């Protein structure tokens, strides 16, 4: 099982300072973390004009663009992998995402995996001139287009939402493909994982029976489709802001017993079963990830 860490870019003390971002990434690599993850939002709403918005992301939350961020970090690191968790694919132009992902994969030496989701915020889709209501169906065709563009120098494609007339992207990714991981928890998401995905990112599940039931469902669906369930990775989240070393070890052992192949540590998220750390400075985040690694590394 691999252990990665989410970049705490939402905290301005880290995410707004290029030197702090670089230091966090290099420190995580030196500690032993095998993956750096980042979230994605393009637009944030003005909460002052939406009093009923709740605790969802707003314009007050800082989000670095994933491709720009990882392009920067590709030159600052050597071995650590990069993953989007999650890129909202359907609010973007498909061919452009395929090009950006391929370029990033070249620049980081094949260390990139693309985690995608369908999104939840219609404000972003409106601002990006995309249809919020067909985003799931459209994302299925987007994946087919991207896989074709990554594999071959020239592509001819005629679908419901895309048309390519004997053209291609250059450079192509070194592996002629990029690992594709799906986020989400609906049955249709599991169907997409089985059909097109390299892995699943069920980020909302805490350790417990609900997660076990979901993992078993994914494996049954894979077997029914003639696919080896062990060929599908699972990456879920753990938190440094709750519990102590003993509890952290128990949780890691639970996920390992469930067949989880990757864990992503978060220090900034307080939603669902996760809790953020008390501090917001770079030193606070670095101290937390060092402590967590020292507590669980022998279990991986």
Average pLDDT for consecutive 10-residue bins of the chain (300 residues)? 97 94 98 98 96 92 97 98 98 98 98 97 97 97 98 98 98 98 96 98 94 98 98 97 96 98 95 92 97 98
What pLDDT score does 259 carry?
A: 97
Prior bond to 193 cis, omega within 30? no
Which among 195, 16, 13, 181 has a CA at the least distance from the CA of 85? 181
Tell me the helix, strand and coil percentages in the chain, rounded to 5.
45, 15, 40
H/E element holding 29? helix 18-31
pTM score, whole prediction = 0.96
Q: How far apart are CA 184 and CA 192, in angstroms?
A: 10
Contacts (Cβ under 8 Å, ≥6 apart) of 38? 6, 7, 9, 64, 66, 69, 70, 82, 83, 84, 85
Q: Estimate the crossing angle of helix 187-196 against helix 135-151, to 10 degrees.
A: 10
Domain covering 2-299, topology: TIM Barrel (3.20.20)
What pLDDT score does 270 carry?
A: 83
Q: Estimate the crossing angle of helix 245-257 against helix 282-296, to 10 degrees.
A: 60
> Long-range contacts for 243-251 (Cβ within 8 Å, ≥24 apart)?
245/291, 245/295, 248/292, 248/295, 248/296, 249/295, 249/296, 249/299, 251/207
């Amino acid at each position: 099982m691999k252990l990665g860490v989410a970049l705490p870019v939402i905290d301005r003390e880290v995410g707004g300072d290029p030197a702090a971002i670089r230091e966090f990434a290099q420190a995580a690599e030196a500690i032993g973390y095998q993956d750096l993850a980042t979230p994605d939002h393009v637009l944030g709403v003005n909460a002052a004009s939406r009093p009923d918005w709740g605790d969802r992301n707003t314009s007050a939350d800082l989000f670095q663009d994933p491709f720009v961020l990882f392009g920067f970090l590709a030159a600052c690191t050597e071995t650590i992998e990069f993953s989007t968790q999650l890129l909202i694919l359907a609010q973007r132009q498909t061919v452009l995402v395929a090009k950006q992902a391929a370029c990033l994969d070249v620049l980081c030496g094949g260390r990139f995996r693309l985690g995608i989701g369908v999104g939840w915020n219609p404000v972003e889709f409106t601002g990006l001139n995309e249809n919020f209501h067909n985003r799931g169906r459209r994302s299925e065709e987007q994946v087919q287009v991207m896989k074709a563009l990554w594999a071959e120098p020239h592509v001819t494609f005629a679908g419901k939402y895309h048309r390519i007339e004997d053209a291609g992207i250059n450079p192509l990714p070194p592996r002629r493909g990029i690992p594709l991981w799906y986020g989400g928890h609906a049955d249709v998401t599991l169907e997409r994982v089985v059909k097109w995905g390299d892995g699943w990112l069920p980020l909302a599940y805490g350790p417990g029976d609900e997660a076990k039931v979901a993992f078993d469902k994914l494996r049954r669906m894979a077997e029914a489709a003639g696919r080896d369930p062990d060929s599908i990775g699972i990456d879920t989240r753990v938190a440094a802001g709750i519990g102590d070393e003993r509890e952290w070890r128990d949780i890691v052992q639970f996920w390992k017993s469930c067949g989880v192949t990757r864990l992503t540590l978060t220090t900034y998220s307080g939603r669902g079963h996760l809790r953020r750390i008390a501090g917001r400075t770079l030193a606070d985040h670095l101290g937390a990830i060092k402590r967590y690694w020292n507590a669980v590394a022998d279990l991986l």
